[in-house]
Amino acid sequence: MYYRFGKFFYFFSVLVFLLTLLYFYAALPAQIGFRLDHEGTVLQDYEKSTFFYGLAIGFLVLNLATVYTPKTLETKTNQKLHRLFPIGDPFRDYLLTWFYSFGGWVNLSLSLAALFVHAINNQEEISVSAYSLWFFSIPVVLFIWVGALFVLLFKKIKSKRVEIN
């Protein structure tokens, strides 16, 4: 049941990323600065298309990596994983929820990366410091999410030990 909410969050985050990437791509200058010194002078820059394709390829690779495991569990392709988390097991629902929501957080962090590059290159319109809370909160959320996976797996191992005894 919960994994449907995780799936919705994941697909919503895909939509947010695509809209964010397209919007910020249109608003960026031809040369994008990535490194600035303390005076605001660009130290390293790339072409706009390099940024777009790099972020799009990173998006595809990260999404394939995060969605592969839940898809193999849902389609019963991975028999070992299916035996460990059979249909009807409450931990199966939690694991699917975790993977889809983790993919959603990864997509939102990529959207924030696009926002960050946009903020660096459009200092007169948008200040980077205005979004500093978001830039620092995403790594914290991802760290907590990985910790939640370990808690979930620990509880599953504990429940298997109880079944064996």
pLDDT for 110-137, tens place per residue?
Answer: 998 888 877 777 766 666 666 777 778 8
Q: How many domains does the chain have?
A: 1
Domain region containing 14: 2-164
pLDDT > 70? residue 159: yes
CB 99 within 8 A of CB 71: no
At residue 123, the pLDDT reads 67
Beta-bridged to residue 42, according to DSSP, are: 36
- pTM summary value: 0.81
The alpha carbon dihedral of 38, 44, 48, 50 has a sign of negative
41-78 tens-digit pLDDT: 666 777 888 888 888 999 999 999 998 988 888 888 87
Round to whole Å and give the CA distance between 91 and 9: 19
pLDDT > 90? residue 145: no
